[in-house]
Amino acid sequence: MREGWRWYGPDDPVSLDDVRQAGASDVVTALHHVPIGTAWTEAEVARRQWEIEEAAPHRTRLTWSVVESIPIPDDVKRLGGKANASIEAWIASLEAVARCGIRIICYNFMPVIDWARTDLEWELPNGAKALRFDQDRYAAFELFLLKRPGADAAYDDAAKARARAAYEAMTEDDQAELVRVIASALPGSTTEPLTLEGFREKLRAYEGIDAPRLRAHLVAFLERVTPVAEQLGVTLTLHPDDPPRPLFGLPRIASHAEDYAALFDAVPSKANGMCFCTGSLGVRPDNDLPEMVRKFGPRIAFAHLRATKRAPDGLSFHEADHLDGDVDMVAVVRALLREDRSRPQGEKIVFRPDHGHRMLDDLALTKRTNPGYTAIGRLRGLAELRGVMRAVETLDRT
């Protein structure tokens, strides 16, 4: 497998030399400065590609091999194939990427908000900081800050009491920070930052859209874009929902194995692929991750390798060390390597370590970091994953 690293462009506090020194060979990035719904141009893609691959010819070569992500505009999720202008702009971006020789595109289909957390600096027993989703803080936001109509019916009395206690323990600054974390778009998000009123307006726009309708809209989108992708030799990889369950009364349709099986049945094109994110899928105890690799292996072009640890309530979780948590990473890696060995050289799986802890020098108050995307935490994760891969490859040869 090819070792990737997510990079947020020239303003990323983690430099391309940092990526080289971590030992990664492949860069995962996007044109984050281009507004959602605006078509990427070949010139813009080529400029970013030159920065990654050619600007430092004296340095170890890097390859931009995965686009993460070309955002899916909101109207596509609400209207499906009727959002013609947005779909055409997305296809234009796909074509620009393909003309530059980049063959993997990651995307998601989560409505209103992208990946969601309630804490960006949750302290671990060793003093490092992790991302966390706390169910009681989420409920406090939904019930008492967002005040979503109908939210009250989603919780039993005990859950509402815990949410109220969490809310009442917050200062005004705590409340503002929780709103910022949930509504204001995390790094790499493919949705727009929202105010509370903007959040409510977005939710109203999704009234009447249930899981079957949202899935139908995704299928309609893929029926338009996969023929183009297949002709250009590009694989589209759908990232799982994060967390993998409905939020804010909105459906989510890429949360477990049955969701992906239904999608591949509906759109059998070989361009219709999967981003295998072990952290997102691993939050659900009913997802057997090694079995999912065996079942969907040919569809996996891209993988996010990270581990999450579920709390006793079954709904809260935090980002664990890459080889700990509830993900059997060794079994997942073995399954991925077996799939990867069956492929020709130009079709190897690209993986990246995901959501490392903030630790060591990255904890310095004067150091700017992106939550979950610090250099040292991901460096540790990549080193651990690389060690597992070397060991598995050696054992499988004997």
Alpha helices (runs of H) in the chain, residue ranges in sequence order: 16-22, 42-53, 74-79, 84-99, 135-140, 157-168, 172-183, 196-205, 211-232, 257-266, 278-282, 289-296, 329-341, 375-397
To the query of whether residue 100 is one of the catalytic residues in this protein, the response is no
To the query of whether residue 107 is one of the catalytic residues in this protein, the response is no
Region of residue 233 (phi > 0: left; psi between -120 and 50: alpha; otherwise: beta): left
% of the chain exceeding 70 in pLDDT: 98
Of the candidates 26, 355, 357, 362, the residue annotated as catalytic is 355
* Total number of domains constituting the chain: 1
To the query of whether residue 304 is one of the catalytic residues in this protein, the response is yes
Q: What local confidence, expressed as pLDDT, does residue 188 receive?
A: 63
Residue 152 within a domain: no
Which pairs from 80-89 meet CB under 8 Å and 24+ separation?
80/216, 80/217, 80/218, 80/219, 80/220, 80/221, 81/217, 81/220, 81/221, 81/223, 81/224, 86/37, 87/221, 87/224, 87/225, 88/39, 89/37, 89/38, 89/39
Say if CB 117 and CB 143 are below 8 A apart: no
> Is the per-residue pLDDT at 398 higher than 90?
no
Residue 308 within a domain: yes
- Tens of pLDDT, residue by residue over 5-33, are 999 999 999 999 999 999 999 999 999 99
160 Cβ neighbours under 8 A, 6+ residues apart: 139, 143, 152
166 Cβ neighbours under 8 A, 6+ residues apart: 134, 136, 137, 139, 140
Residue 246 within a domain: yes
Of the candidates 12, 241, 354, 362, the residue annotated as catalytic is 354
Give the CATH number, domain containing residue 90.
3.20.20.150
Q: What local confidence, expressed as pLDDT, does residue 348 receive?
A: 97
To the query of whether residue 58 is one of the catalytic residues in this protein, the response is no
**What does the alpha-carbon distance between residue 274 and residue 302 come to, in Å, rounded to a whole number?**
7
To the query of whether residue 217 is one of the catalytic residues in this protein, the response is no
Q: Pick the closest to residue 135 from 311, 280, 357, 306 (CA basis).
A: 311
Look up the pTM and report it: 0.96
Of the candidates 239, 256, 322, 357, the residue annotated as catalytic is 239
Q: What local confidence, expressed as pLDDT, does residue 190 receive?
A: 67
> Is the per-residue pLDDT at 397 higher than 90?
no
What domain range is 23 assigned to? 2-116+201-397
Can you tell me the mean pLDDT for 300-312? 97
Residue 50 within a domain: yes
Q: What local confidence, expressed as pLDDT, does residue 189 receive?
A: 65
- Tens of pLDDT, residue by residue over 221-270, are 999 999 999 999 999 999 999 999 999 999 999 999 999 999 999 999 99
Q: What is the mean pLDDT of the chain?
A: 96
Q: How many helices (H) and strands (E) does the chain have?
A: 14, 12
To the query of whether residue 277 is one of the catalytic residues in this protein, the response is yes
3-state secondary structure 168-205: HCCCHHHHHHHHHHHHCCCCCCCCCCCCHHHHHHHHHH
Q: What local confidence, expressed as pLDDT, does residue 187 receive?
A: 65
> Is the per-residue pLDDT at 186 higher than 80?
no
Residue 151 within a domain: no
Q: What local confidence, expressed as pLDDT, does residue 193 receive?
A: 80
Residue 263 within a domain: yes
Residue 134 within a domain: no
- Tens of pLDDT, residue by residue over 348-370, are 999 999 999 999 999 999 999 99
Can you tell me the mean pLDDT for 327-340? 97
Of the candidates 304, 318, 322, 357, the residue annotated as catalytic is 304
> Is the per-residue pLDDT at 184 higher than 80?
no
- Tens of pLDDT, residue by residue over 258-299, are 999 999 999 999 999 999 999 999 999 999 999 999 999 999
Q: What local confidence, expressed as pLDDT, does residue 191 receive?
A: 74
Residue 372 within a domain: yes
Pairing of strands 272-277, 300-305: parallel
- Tens of pLDDT, residue by residue over 77-133, are 999 999 999 999 999 999 999 999 999 999 999 999 988 999 999 999 999 999 999
> Is the per-residue pLDDT at 192 higher than 80?
no
